[in-house]
Chains A and B, each alone.
Chain A
Amino acid sequence: MTDAPVLLSLQNITKRFGALTANDGISLDLHRGEILALLGENGAGKTTLMNILFGHYVQDEGDVRVLGDGGLTALPPGSPGAALKAGIGMVHQHFTLAENLSGLANIRLGTEPLLSFGREGAARAKVQKIIAESGLDVDLDRRVADLTVGEKQRIEILKALYRDAKVLILDEPTAVLTPQEADGLFVVLRRLAANGLGVIFISHKLGEVLAVSHRILVLRGGKKAGELVTADADRRAIADLMVGKAVAAVVRTPASPGDVLLALENVSLHGASGRSLSGVDLKLRAGEVVGLAGVSGNGQSGIAGLISGLAVPTSGTMRLYGETVTRADPRALVANGVARMPEDRQHDGVVGTMSVADNIAIEEVRSAAFSKMGFLDRKAMRERATAAIAGYDVRCQGPDAEARLLSGGNVQKLILARVLERGPRVILANQPTRGLDVGAQAEVHRRILAARDRGAAVLVISEDLDELFALADRFVVVHAGELHDAGPSEGLDRGTIGLMMAGQSHARAEMAS
């Protein structure tokens, strides 16, 4: 592999944000046809490095060199235009598509003059050729707003390839994908690499990194901690490089379930597709973790919406501590000890332009803890934030830092600190470790189980079956808006869950697997 020519070379990249050195003298080479995985803890500087490579940020020191006609040429820093021209394509953690336009229009956007009628045919032919070569199958004529996350990502990749990318960068591409979609993505990436593309992808999922990449580069605290050839690497070696120590696995002790704290009784919810529920029964008991499995879009967001207080059942009843909940009122739920994690942390979780302290206090600003007679108690807010930053290892410049400057995983930690620190009695853990590094994942699992042992009722929604098996005492599976009981996790196997996710009844699934 390393005999292939170098496509891209980073030389001693250093980037500082005030006192913080986010990238410290990082060098790397990417070869033709190579898939390079970029790993590191939350806040290690991965996204920053890719942003420099793509010209979003200007490095303080170092060069980005790209293979051109005359050998390796340094890119002018801070120019996405130059990066694009040199053949670098980037798929961001958060997509940058125009939702109202069709997929094809998005792919062409920015590549042609505004008034270019009649060239659509040529563009479509080119995209279709790329689709045929890569297997990136997607409907080009649908409005982007109507596409699934996985399809949007395909459009993003097509957009990069349409511009003749030689290097494709993907920042945590699988964080938002279902496992099936992720597998599809890897098939595509392997094919693209075989055709000569260089790929860099960022991920926190060691399994997929080991399965897909050729080489692994690990960052720690802004520095290059090491480089491994994937064939010679294993989970321990990588974790060692990432955190400097082995990550202890979390052990789940048997649960001792108590009273039902939250119950959905024959609940139906009419809403947008993917949110609707019909006749759902669910009981969350004190001291028990229920794992909700299902292919995303089958009603998870409906259940999450109910427990988050964003919706009330169209029919049926939701009870909290035995009392019927009749109004959609997140604040009342929070006041009654319900902890809610939003599925989309950037969109629903934080107000980016407000500080870390503000975002920690936001659910409870009206409570006596953070305000007196309508006036904010800034001191209390900062104290809570300082404790949260320390307790949950939120890497940021302090309680006054704006939330939008935090790395993806650190935003997630901020939200965890906000909801778990109160000692909640009911916890909705919606994709609790999405985007977290392995160390932080284990830490969150430990905290969720600790909350359970303290007597909290927990519902974990996750697309990661490993995570569900690590946490859940009992499984439920959602399919097409209906919820099915899968029983205790002891003795349950993945095959059964998988078949139930595809719509088979529990009994049939158990027989089949």
Chain B
Amino acid sequence: MTIRLEPREDAGLGLKIGVSLAAGLVALLLVAIPVLFAGGSPLTAYGLMIQGAFGSMFAFSETLNRATPLILTGLACAVAFRAKLWNIGAEGQLYIGALAAVCIGSGLLQLPPALMIPTVMIAGFLAGGLMMVIPTVIKQRFGADEVVITLLLNFVVILFIQMLVEGPLKDPLSMGWPQSVPLLAEAKLPKLLPRLRMHWGLIVGLVAALVLWLMVRKTVLGFEIRAVGENKAAARFAGIPVDATMLKVALISGGLAGLAGVGEVAGVKGYLSSDLSPGFGYSGIVVAMLAGLSPIGTVIAALFVAAVFVGADSMSRATGISSYIADLVVALSLLCVLVGSFFLRFRVKWDRQSVVA
């Protein structure tokens, strides 16, 4: 009896979901090993993690709060990757979006919340979008690789933000802390529930996922993005404006990451600082891959990643096992999904035919 691989025609939805779930489970199993080494019991550790992520209204709201920027950066990566535009710069776009929100929302304009919030969001979206449109234009004009440009821009942006919050944008009342002037109350995103940190950014993320899902499946733009992503030459021949489509994708992708930044300043922190994001932009890449680039899947994957981080924090406080375990779980899930995607492309055949001599 031998095992053989055969290219698969098309993997069904059930299989795709199954592979992602299995990948998560395998990752958890694998992480049990270092947990054992750290002297903990994996079952207790995971129990505490689940409790820490979902165990109470407070815990759950923290998870949702953590998932909010991840949904948006995850969508940012998913939509770009679908068009084979490799946006590794969601982190920088997030900061630029946050910067735009602070510039507009901290006193430049005086508007009632019903106008102020949308204005701040649009500004953040456009600013983030521009941060992705520029590398895309450079790619189209000069053939420079967008992976390199967007990745390096992240560092440029963070240094720029550091300079701003130490200098021109520094809050005189911050007692020396490097943080910007605060947003006006009118620009802040309302909380979803009293006394919990969850805010309306979550709704924005969910709506964005729904809109993207509709866009991919039902609209001409979604059709064109798929065609450009799958076969650029054929798309061009068929008259789809490849460069323009890529620019639209870049705007949407960068814009979504920018919205994540708006959510963090206007929904959580209230001011800009250079530690606004603990790498939400990079985690967005993982989220998008875990989700197989599906918009709805992105929401679920973002919840999973957020739960792992929030749960691990709380588990670490209770047991003393390092919360780096969270990074391990997330990294291993990504690896498992990549291995799993192999099973989506190939069918494993258990071959019973005996070899005739």
State the A residues within 8 Å of B (CB): 17-18, 56-58, 63, 65, 70, 73-74, 76-79, 308-310, 329-334, 340, 342, 347-354, 358, 362-363, 365-366, 371, 374-376, 402, 405
Contacts and interface: CB of A to CB of B under 8 A. Distances in A.
Given A329-B239, A351-B235, A76 B220 contact: no
A330 to B, nearest CB: 4
B218 interface: yes
Contacts of B349: 58, 78
B84 interface: no
Contact of A342 (B221, B237, B356): B237
Best-buried of A77, A79, A334 by chain B (most CB within 10 Å): A77
Nearest to B227: A351
A362 B223 CA distance: 9
Interface string B337-355: 0000000000001010101
Contacts of A331: 239-241
Contact of B220 (A310, A329, A333, A375): A375
Nearest to A65: B356
Contacts of A310: 236-237
Interface string B236-257: 1111110000000000000000
B47 to A, nearest CB: 43
B263 to A, nearest CB: 27
Nearest to A342: B237
3 shortest interchain CB distances as A-B pairs: A331-B239, A330-B239, A74-B356
Nearest to B347: A58
Nearest to A309: B239
B6 A375 contact: no
Contact of A374 (B219, B234, B236, B351): B219
18 contacts: A57-B6, A70-B357, A77-B4, A79-B4, A308-B237, A331-B239, A331-B240, A331-B241, A332-B239, A351-B234, A351-B235, A352-B231, A354-B227, A358-B227, A365-B223, A374-B220, A376-B218, A376-B219
A74 B220 CA distance: 51
Best-buried of A17, A65, A78, A349 by chain B (most CB within 10 Å): A78
Task: Sort chain B's interface into a size bin.
Answer: 20 to 34
B239 A58 contact: no
A376 B221 CA distance: 9
A351 B84 CA distance: 14
Contacts of A365: 220, 223-224, 240
Best-buried of B2, B5, B227 by chain A (most CB within 10 Å): B227
Contacts of B227: 351, 354, 358, 362
Given A58-B6, A73-B357, A76-B355, A362 B230 contact: no
Binding site of B, secondary structure by majority: helix, strand, loop or mixed?
mixed
A391 B5 CA distance: 37
A363 B218 contact: no
A349 B351 contact: no
Given A350-B234, A354-B226, 12 more contacts: A63-B356, A74-B355, A76-B2, A78-B4, A78-B351, A330-B236, A331-B241, A332-B239, A340-B237, A353-B231, A354-B227, A374-B220
Contacts of B239: 309, 329-334, 363
A371 B231 CA distance: 21
Contacts of A309: 239
Interface in B1-51: 2, 4-7, 9-10
Best-buried of B236, B237, B240, B356 by chain A (most CB within 10 Å): B237
Contacts of B220: 365-366, 371, 374-376
B233 interface: yes
B230 A330 contact: no
Given A78-B349, A347-B234, A349-B234, A362 B240 contact: yes
A309 B239 CA distance: 8
A375 B356 CA distance: 57
A101 B238 CA distance: 31
A354 B235 CA distance: 11
A183 B7 CA distance: 35
Nearest to A63: B356
Contacts of A18: 9
A325 to B, nearest CB: 14
Contacts of B236: 310, 330, 348
A329 B236 CA distance: 9
Nearest to B235: A351
B353 to A, nearest CB: 6
A348 B230 CA distance: 12
A347 B351 CA distance: 35
Contacts of B219: 374-376
A432 to B, nearest CB: 16
A348 B4 contact: no
Nearest to B226: A354
A369 to B, nearest CB: 12
Contacts of A70: 357
Best-buried of A76, A351, A363, A366 by chain B (most CB within 10 Å): A351
Interface in B185-237: 218-221, 223-224, 226-227, 230-231, 233-237
Contacts of B238: 330, 362-363
Contacts of A340: 237
Given A358-B223, A371-B220, A330 B237 contact: yes
Contacts of B235: 351, 362
Given A74-B355, A77-B353, A348 B223 contact: no
A309 B29 CA distance: 56
Contacts of A333: 239
Contacts of B353: 77
A350 B10 CA distance: 18
Nearest to B231: A351
A74 B226 CA distance: 43
A57 B240 CA distance: 35
A396 to B, nearest CB: 12
A352 B231 CA distance: 8
Nearest to A73: B357
B259 to A, nearest CB: 22
Interface string B302-314: 0000000000000
A414 to B, nearest CB: 12
Best-buried of B239, B241, B355 by chain A (most CB within 10 Å): B239
Contacts of A17: 9
Contacts of B10: 402
Contacts of B7: 56
A348 B351 contact: no
A296 to B, nearest CB: 19
B237 A349 contact: yes
Contacts of A362: 223, 227, 234-235, 238, 240
B84 to A, nearest CB: 12
Contacts of A334: 239
B135 to A, nearest CB: 25
Given A330-B239, A358-B223, A376-B220, A348 B357 contact: no
Given A58-B349, A74-B356, A374-B219, A405 B9 contact: yes
B230 A351 contact: yes
Contacts of A352: 230-231
